[in-house]
Structure 1
Amino acid sequence: MNILILGSEEDIHAAHLKKSLTEKGITVDYLDTRLFPTKLKITWQAITHTGCLIFPDGRKWDLADINKIFWRTFGGVNVPKLTDSYQERIAVNDSMGLLRSFMRSQPEKWVNSWEAYEFHKEKPLQLSLANKIGVTIPATIITNNADEILEFSQAFKDVIFKPVYGGSHTQFLTKEHLEINRMKLALSISPVTIQEFIPGTNIRSYVIGEKVYSAEIRSSSLDFREDKRAKLIYLETPEDMKKQCLAITKAFGLKWTGIDWRFKPNGDFFFLEANFSPMFLHFERETGCPITEELIQLLTS
């Protein structure tokens, strides 16, 4: 069996998974796209729908012989800097065109696929689709219209804001943020996601195939990622939450994911987001949940 891991040994999760798979006698290598096109060679045969990789050391892997590809991190392509920026742009587009074709040619082999990768970047649609399949979400508006934000903020006791795509932490929306000139300047640069604040605690659920593992994240911070003392407490996933985890995973075209919830004291839970390639080692260490073994099972089944 041959398995590729999209990423490199620089990523501790990729390195851990490669080591774990290798120990089980499985042939594993990294697909580090940053080496393409300078060191990594890719060929695609349009008529036969076949392709191959030639690694920097000369080893060749045919696409037909690759059983699964685990998407950990994607580094794009690394075209050499050219003096002619137009030619450089053409080179980047050509390189990405071949790489995307290779990556999209057999989506059934990927955990997760290019299509799922593209969808996870569209979090407004992610929320809408979750709501459409019957999952409860917080009241949410995504906009760069200051008037709509003012109107929304008046409808709820507490409101939070966060990036549309990601990359920064969640904050409470304050009167200072709502100062009209400050807000218009910020919104002229980028839109923002505004949500009602859901009191309660955070839940992280990992879905691997049909298995679901959850933990409560106990933290005094609004965004637990800022709290180095946050505690992970194993939680037997409520049956309703488990069903929704599996439904979300299927609807989003994922084979594995990490789903974030807000869990109210009365037992209600609200979907926040599904992570396309979540980190998992800390969760596994703290809870004892066998995430690595489940991933190996998913990749070798």
Structure 2
Amino acid sequence: MNILILGNASDAHASHLYSALSQAGVTVAYLDTRLFPTQIQLSWDPGSQSGWVVLPGAKTLRLQDIHSVFWRSFSGVRIPKLEDPYQEQVAFNDAISALRSLMQFSAIHWVNSWQAYQLHKEKPLQLSRVKQLGVRIPATLITNHPEPILEFVKSYPSAIFKPVYGGAHTQRITPEHLEPERLSLALNIAPITVQEYIPGTNIRSYVIADSIYSAEIRSHAIDFREDVAAQLLPVELPERVQQQCLAIAREFALEWTAIDWRLNPGGEYVFLEANPSPMFLHFEHQTGFPITARLIQLLQS
């Protein structure tokens, strides 16, 4: 059985899973897309859906012989620098199109899929679809216009802001953020996501196929990812919330995900985000949940 890991050995999670798969007797290799097309070769016949990929070290795999790919990180492609910028853009488009076609090849089991990855990048759409499932989400505004932000902030005891796409931590909105010149300057650069602040406790639920592992994250930080001292305490979700976890995973075509919740003082679970390629090593180490073992089972299924 051939399994690929989308990523490279410099990533601790990719390296960990590589070692675990190897110890399980699986033939595993990295698919580092930064090496395409300079060090990785790809051939594909759309008619017969046959083809092969040649990895660094001349390891050749028929596409039909690749059982599954674990999506850890996608770094795009790296085109050699060309003197003509137009030709360089054409080369980039050709390379990324060929790679995207491989990443949507139906005979390969992707964990997770290209479609799931794309939806994760559109977080406002993700929130909308979760709301349609009947799951509570925070009051949210995406905008680059100052006046709606000022009105929004007046409507709630406290509010936070974060990037629309991701890549930076959540912050609580302060009067300094709302100073007209500072706010206008920031919004002329990019829109932001503004949300009501939900008091309560952070809960993270890992969903792997039909298994759910959850823990309370005790932290005083607005964004617990900033808190290296955060405590992880295993919890059992109510049956209704477990069903919501599974429904969210199905809605986003996620075979494996981490769902972040906020449990408010009234006992209500509020959805924040579902990540298609979450970090898990620290969580697994602190809780003892068999995340690695379940991922290996999923990739072999």
Secondary structure, in 3 states, of the residue corresponding to 1:257? strand
Alpha-carbon distance in structure 2 between the residues aligned to 1:15 and 1:50:
29
CA distance in 2, matches of 1:19, 1:251: 31
Q: 4+ runs of 1 displaced by more than 4 Å?
A: none
Which residue number in structure 1 is paired with residue 246 of structure 2? 246
- TM-score, with structure 2 as normaliser: 0.98
CA deviations over 1:175-201 (Å, ceiling 9, x no partner): 111112211111010000000110001
In 2, Cα distance between equivalents of 1:108 and 1:37: 20
**AA paired with 2:143?**
T
Counterpart position of 1:198: 198
Question: Cα distance, 1:266 vs. partner?
Answer: 2.2
Instruction: Indicate conservation of the 8 Å contact 2:67/2:108, yes or no.
Output: no
CA distance in 2, matches of 1:74, 1:292: 20
Paired position in structure 2 for 1:157: 157
Cα shift at 1:89: 0.8
Preserved contact between residue 51 and residue 102 of structure 1 (Cα < 8 Å): no
Aligned twin of 2:111: 111
CA drift of 1:107 comes to 7.0
Query: Displacement, 1:154?
Result: 0.7
Aligned to 2:42: 42
Partners of 2:54 and 2:132 in 1: CA distance: 44
Counterpart mapping for 1:207-222 below 5 A: 207-222=207-222
Whether the 8 Å contact between 1:43 and 1:53 is mirrored in structure 2 is yes
- Counterpart CA distance in 2 for 1:295 and 1:134 is 29
Q: Percent identity?
A: 57
Cα distance, 1:8 vs structure 2? 0.8
| Alignment pair present for 1:123 and 2:123 | yes
| CA distance in structure 1 between the aligned counterparts of 2:57 and 2:159, rounded to whole angstroms | 54
> What's the CA shift for 1:147?
0.8
SS in 1 for 2:42: strand
String of CA shifts for 1:128-153, please: whole Å, max 9, x gaps.
Answer: 00000111001101111111111111
Counterpart AA for 2:25: G
Aligned match of 1:31: 31
How many angstroms apart in 1 are the aligned matches of 2:47 and 2:138? 48
Query: Which amino acid is 1:57 matched to?
Result: G
Q: Is the 8 A contact 1:136 1:271 kept in 2?
A: yes
Give yes or no for contact 1:202–1:216 (8 Å, CA) kept in 2: yes
Task: Give the root-mean-square deviation of aligned CA atoms.
Answer: 1.0
How far residue 237 of structure 1 moved from its aligned partner, in angstroms, is 2.2
Q: Aligned partner of 1:237: which letter?
A: L
Deviates more, 1:102-111 or 1:192-201: 102-111
- More divergent stretch after superposition (106-115 vs 168-177): 106-115
Contact 1:107-1:114 within 8 A present in 2 as well: no
What does residue 96 of structure 1 align with? Answer: 96
Gaps of 5+ in 1: none
Counterpart of 2:162, as a letter, is: K
Distance change in 2, residues 1:108/1:63 (3 Å): closer
Matched residues in 2 for 1:31 and 1:226: separation?
30
CA distance in 2, matches of 1:168, 1:244: 27
The one-letter amino acid paired with 2:235 is L
How many residues are aligned here?
A: 301
SS at match of 1:147: helix
Does the 8 Å CA contact 2:66/2:108 hold for their aligned counterparts? no
Residue 76 of structure 2 aligns to a residue whose secondary structure is coil
Distance 2:73 2:300 in 1: 20
Deviations 1:209-253 (A, max 9, x none): 000000011001111111111111111122121111100000011
Gaps of 5+ in 2: none
Secondary structure class of the residue paired with 1:67 = strand
